[in-house]
Copies of this chain bind each other. A is one copy, B any other.
Amino acid sequence: MKKSDATREAILEAALRLFRKRGFEKTTMRDVAKSADVAAGAAYYYFPSKDAIVLAYYARTQDAHAELARAGMKRARTLDGRLRAVLHAKIDSMARDRKLLSALFRSIGDPASELSIFSAKTRRVRDESIALFDEALAPEELPPDLKRVLALSFWSLSMGLVLFFIHDTSPKQRKTRLLVDRAVDLLAPMMPMAAMMAPMGTSVLEVLREVGLTP
């Protein structure tokens, strides 16, 4: 059991190192195996596919994100601050990894793929991410249904930001940071207004349920 875990870890680390340096597409599974000092097939004993390695990375990063985000939220007194904490923490936790995140979206349009960010297999990570937005919204005086819809919306926003982040070639990805700040500037003050639309929040939730976007 012990040795096996070490091999798995070695393969994962080697893969991430190469993905970061050369990018996901330019790195070969044979490169990864060689760099981890195992045979090509060994990687497939531990990971079902090349994309799955990125998914393993993403699951691990999600935990780092959660920790960072919660630490940031503790210090914040306002919704504005908490949203900023969660979103910036997300970018922080992936700061070095722009080059490998592209793989995360490769299967987004394939309903059959288990690696899609919408699939059952990725559910844990997805739910944990949504939970962070739930927590950011928790202290607000808002109807629960509305909160639920808002948390889902913020999760979508965060996935969009990751996509933007991947494409962001500005130095230190400053543009992504700017976008996060501006988005929060814009959205946070709207939340009290949104409270007036409580019945709307409920009806949105009904549609989402009817349509299967939320259980």
Contacts and interface: CB of A to CB of B under 8 A. Distances in A.
A57 interface: no
Interface magnitude class on chain A:
20 to 34
Work out how many copies of this chain go into the complex: 2
A178 interface: yes
A118 B164 CA distance: 10
Interface stretch (A2-10, A83-91, A122-130, A204-212): A204-212
Nearest to A167: B111
Contacts of A204: 186
A42 interface: no
Contact of A108 (B25, B105, B111, B179): B105
8 contacts: A25-B110, A101-B109, A102-B110, A105-B109, A106-B110, A164-B213, A182-B207, A186-B204
Interface of A: 23, 25, 101-112, 118, 163-164, 166-167, 169, 175, 178-179, 182, 186, 200, 203-204, 207, 210-213
